Chains A and B, each alone.
Chain A
Amino acid sequence: MTTKFTTDHEWINIEDHEAAVVGITLHAQDALGDVVFVELPAVGTTLKKGERAGTVESVKAAADIYMPVSGEIVEVNEKLAAEPALANTDPLGEGWFFKVHVSDMMQFDDLMDAPAYDALLKTL
């Protein structure tokens, strides 16, 4: 299981062992509506799990992006910053937000797997 999910409707994937990729879920982009702006963290900053790492905004609303795990930001998706609609059209692929060097794999392991996240969505 290389992709996990948070209660803030973000996904994190550690297929690439150098850095985990973080984005928002299909449910998150659907709830937000058309994304018109994203604010990404600065590369090189180290943030703790749960800290605000960025913002995603639609015409109607703004939502914070939180760190799913603690770690250093090693890359951000500049293409998403230039083309925020990617968060809607391909949230699990080209619409990724940033890459983080995970400092504590225990935090990753504690997140929800896909069946657990699907179960959460059914309660909403």
Chain B
Amino acid sequence: MSADLLHTPLHDLHLELGARMVPFAGYAMPVQYPSGILAEHRQCRHEAALFDVSHMGQLLLKGPDAAAALETLVPVDVVDLGLNKQRYAFFTNPQGGLLDDLMITRREDGIMVIVNAACKDADLAHLRARIGQRCEIVTMFDRALLALQGPMAVHALARLAPGIEKLVFMTGGFFEIAGCACYATRSGYTGEDGYEISVAAADADKLARALLAQPEVKPVGLGARDSLRLEAGLCLYGHDIDEKTTPVEAALTWAIQKVRRPGGARAGGYPGADVIERQLAGTGVMARRVGLVGLERAPVREGTALVDAHGHKLGTVTSGTLGPTVDHPVAMAYLPLDHAIVAHEVYAEVRGRRLPMRVAAMPFAPHRYFRG
């Protein structure tokens, strides 16, 4: 592996655990441990999985104007976000396309923003250029981020940090976990209940080992993280969404609160608002992101062409694999609106054959978040 790859604070631990390391967004990251992707996928669905997601970018926006400033970059309600409440958001470009997707949390000390690893430098430049005058932008790129996911995550974590079980989905707080000062949110990207824990780099190894010492917890790599998030119907930036897809095309309008839509108190005011508002009203949308279920056994992967019964090209698969939990092929793709209808059948061209797939509601595997 290339020597110029960045390491997360848990790099030595990954090697000690026998991880297979791969380059990802400039980092050496564990794609799997010796147990393998299928076992790791099941570990997360049935018990508790510890993921290192320290490659993601953590930032803090400070100052009284930070929320209003951030609203000029995202079509999401930040101003009314309560203390320790978390929300999914995305940066848009003037064409209404998605520059990155992110998580926003209002903390006592500022608004925490977590962005994708591959986008973090561009996101930081974007934030500095657009709202650097209105708030203080503190980068916390050296901090570690651990995700503990799965139905038993709460039991493992509550043993180390009593009280943390009281958090509900998409809320957070400061906690001391195994003697480490952390900011934890009850959220994640697997479709399961769980937590994401921000911790200082110097404490990351100690915290990870304390979590792995719990009987429910095993380390899980990025390979299973990908199959888990796909079964949960969650987008992977750069694959299922990018600067050419809008939130309306990407079927992410649920993330745009009423207050930011036409007629709302703080409607528009973000890049590409004109395009997105037109699309919200039903004009200018050519294709929409859908879920697809394979009716045969062969996995249908990213880049596969989708055609109609006459062989006319309809679109391309953006993510796809054989879902280990649902036990059939699952995929995401953009289809023209007259094909983006649940139960509609299309065909995937795989090695010269046309494999039938059916448009399906997502998630493929039910979300099991803890909402209290």
Contacts and interface: CB of A to CB of B under 8 A. Distances in A.
A37 B355 CA distance: 14
B351 A60 contact: no
A59 B351 contact: no
B83 interface: no
B298 interface: yes
Interface residues of B, number: 19
Contact of B223 (A33, A52, A62): A33
B36 A62 contact: no
Contacts of B41: 59
B301 to A, nearest CB: 6
Contact of B36 (A34, A52, A57): A34
A55 B38 contact: no
A28 to B, nearest CB: 15
Contacts of A55: 298, 351
A39 interface: yes
B298 A37 contact: yes
Nearest to B299: A57
Contacts of A39: 298, 351
B78 interface: no
Contacts of B322: 36-37, 57, 59
A95 B351 CA distance: 23
A33 B32 contact: yes
Contacts of B351: 39, 52, 55
Nearest to A61: B301
Interface in A71-105: none
A13 interface: no
A59 B222 CA distance: 12
B227 interface: yes
Interface in A15-63: 33-34, 36-37, 39, 52, 55, 57-60, 62
Interface in B277-335: 297-299, 301, 321-322, 324
B276 interface: no
B37 A34 contact: yes
A74 to B, nearest CB: 22
What secondary structure prevails in chain A residues at the interface with B? strand
B298 to A, nearest CB: 6
A34 B38 contact: yes
A36 B297 CA distance: 9
Contact of B38 (A37, A57, A59, A62): A59
A58 B298 contact: no
Nearest to B351: A55
Contacts of A62: 299, 301
B223 A60 contact: yes
Contact of A59 (B37, B297, B298): B37
A59 B223 contact: yes
Given A59-B38, A60-B223, A37 B31 contact: no
Interface in B35-68: 36-39, 41
A44 B175 CA distance: 66
B223 A36 contact: no
A60 B37 contact: yes
Nearest to B38: A34
Contacts of B224: 59
A36 B223 CA distance: 14
B301 A59 contact: no
B46 to A, nearest CB: 16
Nearest to A82: B297
A85 to B, nearest CB: 8
A57 B223 contact: no
A59 B40 CA distance: 12
Given A57-B299, A59-B227, A36 B38 contact: yes
Nearest to B322: A36
A86 to B, nearest CB: 14
Nearest to B39: A34
Given A34-B36, A36-B324, 20 more contacts: A33-B32, A33-B36, A33-B37, A34-B37, A34-B39, A36-B299, A37-B298, A39-B298, A52-B351, A55-B351, A59-B37, A59-B38, A59-B223, A59-B224, A59-B227, A59-B322, A60-B31, A60-B37, A60-B226, A62-B301
8 contacts: A33-B223, A37-B297, A57-B322, A59-B37, A59-B223, A59-B227, A59-B321, A59-B324
The 9 A-B residue pairs whose C-beta atoms are closest, nearest first, are A34-B38, A36-B322, A59-B37, A34-B36, A57-B299, A60-B223, A34-B37, A59-B227, A59-B321
